[in-house]
């Protein structure tokens, strides 16, 4: 699936912002040794992101 068609940048902005958060708040802070450990870490991070993390667009409230 190509995301570089006309008008597709709008869709990609949200994904790029999410991955920026994942990288700077999780991946760069931990040394995941195996893909299995990385998957477990992602599971925990996304649970945190979707339930407990304060979001700027929500006036620093949790979802």
E runs forming strands in the chain: none
pLDDT tens figures, 27-45:
999 989 999 999 999 999 9
Cut 0.85: pTM above it: no
More confident: 2 or 60: 60
- Higher-pLDDT residue of 34, 51: 34
Other Cβ atoms closer than 10 A to 63? 10
Within 1-63, residue ranges assigned H as helices are 9-25, 35-51
Higher pLDDT, 14 or 20: 20
Quote the pLDDT of residue 7.
64
């Amino acid at each position: 699936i190509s995301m570089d068609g006309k008008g597709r940048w709008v869709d990609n902005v949200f994904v790029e912002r999410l991955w920026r958060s994942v990288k700077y708040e999780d991946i760069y802070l931990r040394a995941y040794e195996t893909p299995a450990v990385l998957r477990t870490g992602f599971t925990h991070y996304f649970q945190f992101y979707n339930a407990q993390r304060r979001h700027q667009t929500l006036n620093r409230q949790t979802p």
